């Protein structure tokens, strides 16, 4: 790519690649993956054998400032250690958050353990000015002992892997948030699904109960430990049916034939309109610009539970769960199959809780109809790795 074309792409925010080289060495010193329209600058540093040693993930925030969102360095234990073999290298990773938090993780190879800390990182380490086109300062040149490197432009959509023995250039894409997989199919009876665990069939969609949301503010959160994660997308004030998708699977286990029914997803049905498009259900503090590739925001739980609730009544609706912490005997209406409902009659509001497959963070997906109105809010509660629809 010519310098002129790269400059034009920079000005338009389009992806391009910058490669820093030094004479007499096949492998690059550093590769920059630039896509300002995606608020992204990725930097890869290489050693002389062509192994990636350093990674920087920077996100364009606050005008012309780059947050050093994630940094990872590898120190290989010898020249014969394979690239990315973390059993044969020390790995130091630092994750920074826009709110000032930080997590540092160190792993000392095959024989060492790992250590995580929460260091205090000042603004001078946290932020870096967005460089003007052509005014680049390599991140690792000083570390590698190089200065005044000639600049080489590589193709629009491929980071440099050429020049590394036997390896072909591979395409790259800027980080993208996670997308939901086949949510509609989970609520379509008769659909055959496949996961890396076992195939399954959607049996039916069963109504669980209703939730009144008079404020139009919708919380999807763990009622035991959550603070009331309210979605930025509201729903019309009203009463909505919560439904659970039920699947059936059969498999052999230790010589025995096993048949099992489960509910891998729950849905708050806002309207009968079909969903035309899904989007991530965000809270006010969520920022898609800083999400790692393939990740999603959601509610967190360490008791394998979530809920749909009216946002204005979250505190009284979730209070029975907090009071029951430790004994798991919640004063709530039992709706069967682990579903519970609490009610705040003074506000004509409800909370309906559901079980998840385990602890962790669960994404919330908002489905919109062709008109753009909210038609459904879904949580995939089950672990469905490599989900595919067979028919």
Q: What share of the chain is helix, strand, coil (3-state, %, to 5)?
A: 10, 40, 45
Query: In tens digits, what is the pLDDT along the chain, a chain of 391 residues?
Result: 788 888 999 999 999 988 888 888 888 889 999 999 999 999 999 999 999 999 999 999 977 899 999 999 999 999 999 999 988 999 999 999 878 899 999 998 776 788 999 999 998 889 999 999 988 888 888 888 877 666 565 554 444 333 344 455 556 789 999 999 899 999 999 999 998 888 889 999 999 999 999 999 999 999 999 999 999 999 999 999 999 999 998 877 888 888 888 999 999 999 999 999 999 999 999 999 999 999 999 999 999 999 999 999 999 999 999 888 766 678 899 999 999 999 999 999 999 999 999 999 999 999 999 999 999 999 999 999 889 998 7
- pTM listed for this prediction: 0.87
Q: Which of 391, 284, 303 is nearest to 355 (CA)?
A: 303
The set of residues, in sequence order, having a beta carbon less than 8 Å from that of 220 and lying 6+ positions away, is 229, 231, 281, 299, 306, 307, 308, 309, 364, 377, 379
| Token digits of residue 20 | 């820093």
DSSP string of 201-216? EEEEEEEEEEEEETTS
Question: Which pLDDT score, from 0 to 100, does residue 152 have?
Answer: 63
Question: Which pLDDT score, from 0 to 100, does residue 349 have?
Answer: 98
What stretch of H or E contains 141? Answer: helix 141-144
Q: Which of 343, 342, 345, 351 is nearest to 311 (CA)?
A: 351
| Token digits of residue 337 | 């199959």
- 188/85 Cα distance (integer angstroms): 43
| Token digits of residue 150 | 């000639």
Q: Which of 128, 141, 74 is nearest to 96 (CA)?
A: 128
121 burial type by CB count under 10 A (0-12 exposed, 13-18 middle, 19+ buried): middle
- 216/238 Cα distance (integer angstroms): 7
259 burial type by CB count under 10 A (0-12 exposed, 13-18 middle, 19+ buried): exposed
| Token digits of residue 126 | 């946290």
How many other C-beta atoms lie within 10 A of the C-beta of residue 78?
7
Question: Which pLDDT score, from 0 to 100, does residue 185 have?
Answer: 95
Question: Which pLDDT score, from 0 to 100, does residue 166 have?
Answer: 44
351 with 330: CB under 8 angstroms? no
């Amino acid at each position: 790519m010519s310098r002129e074309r790269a400059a034009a792409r920079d000005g338009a925010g389009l992806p391009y690649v910058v490669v820093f080289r030094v004479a007499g060495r096949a492998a690059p010193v550093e590769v920059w993956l630039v896509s300002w329209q995606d608020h992204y600058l990725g930097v890869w540093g290489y050693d002389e054998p062509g192994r990636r040693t350093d990674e920087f993930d920077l996100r364009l925030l606050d005008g012309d400032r780059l947050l050093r969102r994630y940094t990872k360095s590898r120190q290989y234990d010898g020249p014969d250690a394979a690239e990315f073999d973390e059993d044969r290298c020390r790995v130091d990773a630092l994750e920074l958050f826009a709110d000032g938090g930080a997590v540092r993780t160190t792993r000392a190879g095959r024989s060492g353990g790992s250590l995580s800390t929460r260091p205090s990182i000042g603004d001078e380490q946290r932020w870096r000015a967005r460089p003007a086109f052509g005014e680049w300062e390599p991140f690792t040149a000083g570390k590698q002992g190089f200065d005044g490197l000639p600049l080489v432009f590589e193709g629009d959509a491929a980071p440099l892997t050429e020049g590394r023995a036997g390896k072909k250039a591979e395409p790259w894409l800027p980080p993208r948030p996670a997308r939901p997989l086949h949510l509609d199919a989970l609520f379509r009876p008769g659909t055959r699904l496949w996961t890396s665990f076992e195939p399954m069939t959607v049996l039916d969609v069963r109504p669980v109960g209703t939730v009144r949301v008079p404020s139009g503010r919708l919380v999807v959160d763990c009622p035991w430990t959550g603070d009331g994660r309210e979605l930025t997308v509201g729903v019309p004030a009203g009463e909505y049916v919560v439904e659970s998708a039920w699947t059936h699977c059969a498999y052999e286990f230790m010589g025995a034939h096993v048949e099992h029914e489960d509910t891998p997803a729950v849905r708050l049905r806002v309207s009968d309109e079909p969903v035309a498009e899904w989007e991530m259900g965000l809270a006010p503090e969520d920022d898609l610009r800083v999400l790692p590739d393939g990740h999603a925001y959601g509610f967190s739980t360490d008791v394998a539970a979530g809920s749909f609730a009216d946002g204005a009544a979250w505190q009284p609706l979730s209070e029975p769960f907090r009071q029951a912490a430790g004994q798991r005997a919640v004063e709530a209406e039992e709706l069967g199959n682990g579903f519970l409902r609490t009610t705040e009659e003074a506000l004509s509001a409800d909370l309906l809780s559901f079980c998840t497959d385990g602890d962790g963070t669960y994404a919330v997906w908002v489905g919109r109809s062709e008109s753009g109105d909210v038609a459904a809010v879904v949580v995939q509660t089950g672990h469905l790795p490599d989900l595919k629809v067979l028919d």
